[in-house]
Structure 1
Amino acid sequence: MTRVGVIGASGLAGGELVRIIDQHPCLDLAFLGGSRNVGKPLVAVHPGLRTLPNTTIEAVSAADVRRRCDVVLLATPAGVSAELASALSGRGATVIDLSGAFRLRSEAVHDRWYPGVGRDPKLAARFTYGVPELISDELASADLISLPGCYATAITLALAPLVFGLKLAQSTVLVDGKSGSSGGGLPLRRAGLHPYRNGAITPYAPVGHRHAAEVQGFFAERAPDVLVSLMMSAYGVAHVRGLLASCYVFGNWPMDSRTLSRAYLRYYKPHHFVRVRDHRETMIPMPDPQAVLGSNFCDVTAMHDAEGGGRIVALAALDNLVKGAAGQAVQAVNHRFGYVPELGLTMQPVVPA
């Protein structure tokens, strides 16, 4: 058994981590850490987790966490993760961070998107970043892992076959992202209250998003010969879970939708959690976040728009709390400790949700 600690257990991603770890046959939930709810039973903050009635949230002591855990999952704000990773690293336990503290390599770009989040640049350089499907070989020996944000996961998976497979050079990509309210976490904001959120389509990041900077940096590092210029607008919608990333890749590409579909199917054939969908295969157009909620799947598709100047439209849908956070964290744990990547993550989507 691998002993797992979850810090930030009171939050939405923390609750999902506990839910998934509890059903994993090879993971033992050894520590639950927090700050605001120290001493409270887990069920008091996550009413659905009643199978762990005697589990309480504890104060975080780095020495205690290292003693009790083989791997520590940080579901904490970026500033907190930066401090905890420094205290926990290099002392036996693997650290997997779900925040944005270590996603961006460049210190200048990090400061642009995470102002006030100080970090040790040498420590940041040691983190392995990326979606598990794309860096699985590196995860087996990684002691410091930074997972992409939910949008970054969807965008990267939508574009990876074009960048790494077809190597479409000098691409200009415009991303239209729409996500549910759980993507903003639990901090109370007036705009997040039901009377304002219900039925809304809110352009909360119309001229840029930090997850786009992650994708740009990842592709620049991993495929320096394929230039990708990426711009993004993000909107909040009335759903609680789920997001859709619509990626418009501009250029007069000499291909058709059938060629694209074959390229995507070939690229993702070894990867259980990425499902290449036909836009017309079900009673609702695919991909759609509704068809992945509660699961670790990401549904993708790509189409060639001959009438639109030859652009490519690549779509990706996922549950932001599972594949965009807790599910892919457990997926990284599986790779790191030699388990089958799908272990403990085979739950089917809940439709309708």
Structure 2
Amino acid sequence: MIRAGVVGASGLAGGELIRLITQHPDLELTFLGGSSSIGRRPSELHPGLRIHQNLTVQPVTEEVADKVDVLFLATPATVSADLAGLLADRVPALVDLSGAFRIRTPELHDRWYPKVKRRTDLTDRFVYGVPELVGDQLKDAALISLPGCYATAITLGLAPLTLGLGLTLKTVVVDGKSGSSGGGLQLRTSDLHPFRAGAIAPYSPTGHRHAAEVGDFLERSRPGAVGKLSMSAYGVSHVRGLLTSSYVFTDDKVDQRELSRAYLRFYKGHPFVRVRRHDETLIPVPDPQVVLGSNFADVTVLHDEEGGRIVVLAALDNLVKGAAGQAVQAVNLRFGLPEETGLTQQPVMPA
């Protein structure tokens, strides 16, 4: 068994990690870490969990390295940066779900994460963990930085165009809509039910740090593939799930048939990315509600010939494929397991 620990056990992503680890056939939960919830059991923190393991939340010290083979950091970026500096060469595999190490370029990192001071010698050692795109790099990786939830959807949506067809994307404009769980458990007035219910709140209309990390990753993967990439983000009244709509402008000539074939070809053999026609089901897809509770990302590509653009839609559960599920998927590859191990749950609908 692979011994797994979760730091940030009281958070939403931490709870999802506990849920997935405890039903995984090859992972054993051996450590829970935190600060504000020390001494509490998982079932106290997450009412849906009724696991009968003799674990309570403990402070995180160097000794955790003796208890785990992999440690998940479901912590704020500032905390993850500190813990990575403490544990990077002690824990065999460290998986960070925060934004502390997602952006490699120092100036870009400082712009979007000005309060996150990280060890510069660690930055280039982290693998940006999109399993479908960097699977070979995850094998035996000691440090893995998970993409953000929006970034996962955007990157999976654009990769067949840039890394598959080799298109040069002059301009990409992203519209992102996410449920309230994307903001974690911080108490903010704007997230109170009277304001959030039924709302479409433009909380980040002129830029988002997840778009910055996508641009940083794609530039490293294929320099010059993307010109300008901008994003507007909206909060909606869902609890789980997100949808990104990427409007792509390019001088390269494509048609719908070529695009559809390229996406099917690119994701062949990748079980968690479902390439879909938007009109193939009773309701138009992708739609976040048809992936909730699962590790699937649904992706659709459309050619808007009249508008001179490519429209790429991507939907996922921000707590599973956008966080905990993708983390487990990356760990499966890290330890040589089939990537779908412990992640074969079908979506729950309606939810």
TM-score band by shorter chain is: over 0.9
Aligned counterparts of 1:255 and 1:118: Cα–Cα separation in 2: 43
- Partners of 1:159 and 1:60 in 2: CA distance: 38
Q: Could you say if the C-alpha distance between residues 37 and 92 of structure 1 is closer, same or farther in structure 2, counting changes exceeding 3 Å? A: closer
What is the CA distance between 1:55 and its match in structure 2?
2.7
SS at match of 2:306: helix
How far apart, CA to CA, are the structure 2 residues paired with 1:316 and 1:52? 37
Change (3 A) 1:264 1:270: same
SS in 1 for 2:35: coil
Deviation at 1:162, TM superposition (A): 0.2
Q: Matched residues in 2 for 1:29 and 1:199: separation?
A: 38
User: 1:51 and 2:51 equivalent?
Assistant: yes
Hey, what does 2:23 align to over in structure 1?
23
Aligned-partner Cα distance in 2 for 1:74–1:144: 11
C-alpha deviation, 1:90, in angstroms: 1.1
> Please, which moves more after superposition, 259-268 or 45-54?
45-54
> Is 1:219 paired with 2:232?
no
Check the 8 A contact 1:42/1:52 in 2, yes or no: no
The offset of 1:59, in angstroms, is 1.5
What pairs with 1:88-127 in structure 2 (closer than 5 Å)?
A: 88-127=87-126
Query: 1:131, 1:152 → 2: CA distance?
Result: 10
Aligned residue for 1:332? Answer: 330
Query: Comparing 222-231 with 327-336, which one deviates more in the overlay?
Result: 222-231
Residue pair 1:296, 1:345 contacting (<8 A) in 2 also: yes
- Counterparts of 1:267-282 in structure 2 under 5 Å? 267-282=266-281
Q: Offset of 1:174 from its aligned partner? A: 0.2
Q: What SS class does the counterpart of residue 308 from structure 1 fall into?
A: coil
Considering only aligned residues, what root-mean-square deviation do their CA atoms show, in Å? 1.0
Aligned to 2:299: 300
1:225 Cα offset (Å): 4.5
How much has 1:229 moved relative to structure 2? 1.9
Unaligned runs of 5+ residues in structure 2 are none
Cα distance in 2 for partners of 1:252, 1:315 equals: 20
| Amino acid corresponding to residue 341 of structure 2 in structure 1 | L
Secondary structure of residue in 2 paired with 1:307: coil
Show structure 1 runs of 5+ residues with no match.
none
1:310-321 alignment to 2 at 5 Å? 311-321=309-319
What is the letter of the counterpart of residue 342 of structure 2? G
Alignment of 1:71 with 2:50, yes or no, is no
State how far apart, in whole Å, the 1-side matches of 2:24 and 2:331 are.
Answer: 11
Equivalent position amino acid for 2:242 in 1: L
Q: C-alpha offsets along residues 169-215 of structure 1, whole Å, 9 cap, x if unaligned? A: 14310000000000000010011010010000000000000000000
Distance 2:139 2:53 in 1: 33
Partner SS, residue 163 of structure 1 = helix
TM-superposed deviation, 1:106: 1.2
Moved more, 327-336 or 106-115: 106-115
Q: For residue 149 of structure 1, what is the aligned residue in structure 2? A: 148
Q: CA deviation at 1:8?
A: 0.3
Distance in 1, matches of 2:254 and 2:103, equals 33
Read off the aligned partner of 2:324 and give its amino acid letter.
A
- Residue by residue over 1:38-76, the C-alpha shift from the partner in whole angstroms, topping out at 9 and shown as x without a partner, is 0011111101110236431112112x2100000100000
Corresponding residue for residue 168 of structure 1 = 167
Q: Is the CA contact (8 Å cut-off) linking 1:220 and 1:228 kept in structure 2?
A: no
* TM-score under structure 1 length normalisation: 0.98
Instruction: Tell me the amino acid that sits aligned with residue 77 of structure 1.
Output: P
Overall identity of the aligned pairs, in %: 65
Distance in 1 separating the partners of 2:129 and 2:216:
11
Match of 2:195 in 1: 196
Structure 2 distance, partners of 1:48, 1:169, is 46
CA distances 1:9-60 after superposition (whole Å, capped 9, x unpaired): 0000000000000110000001011111100111111011102364311121
Check the 8 A contact 1:206/1:234 in 2, yes or no.
Answer: yes
How far apart are residue 129 of structure 1 and its match?
0.9
Q: How many residues align?
A: 351
Does the C-alpha gap of structure 1 residues 128 and 318 become closer, same or farther in structure 2, counting only changes over 3 Å? Answer: same
CA distance in 2, matches of 1:251, 1:104: 25
**C-alpha displacement at 1:228, in angstroms?**
3.5
Mapping for residues 246-265 of structure 1, pairs under 5 Å: 246-265=245-264
Q: Secondary structure at the match of 1:303?
A: strand
Aligned 8 A contact 1:82 1:119 in 2:
yes
- For 1:348, the equivalent position in structure 2 comes to 346
Q: Which residue of structure 2 aligns with residue 242 of structure 1?
A: 241
Contact 1:95–1:145 under 8 Å retained in 2: yes
Aligned-partner Cα distance in 2 for 1:233–1:225: 22
The secondary structure found in structure 1 opposite 2:347 is coil
Quote the Cα distance in structure 2 between the aligned partners of 1:333 and 1:252: 39
Instruction: Tell me the amino acid that sits aligned with residue 34 of structure 2.
Output: G
TM-score by length of 2: 0.98
Could you tell me whether the CA contact under 8 Å between 2:215 and 2:226 is conserved in 1? no
Partner of 1:141, secondary structure, is coil
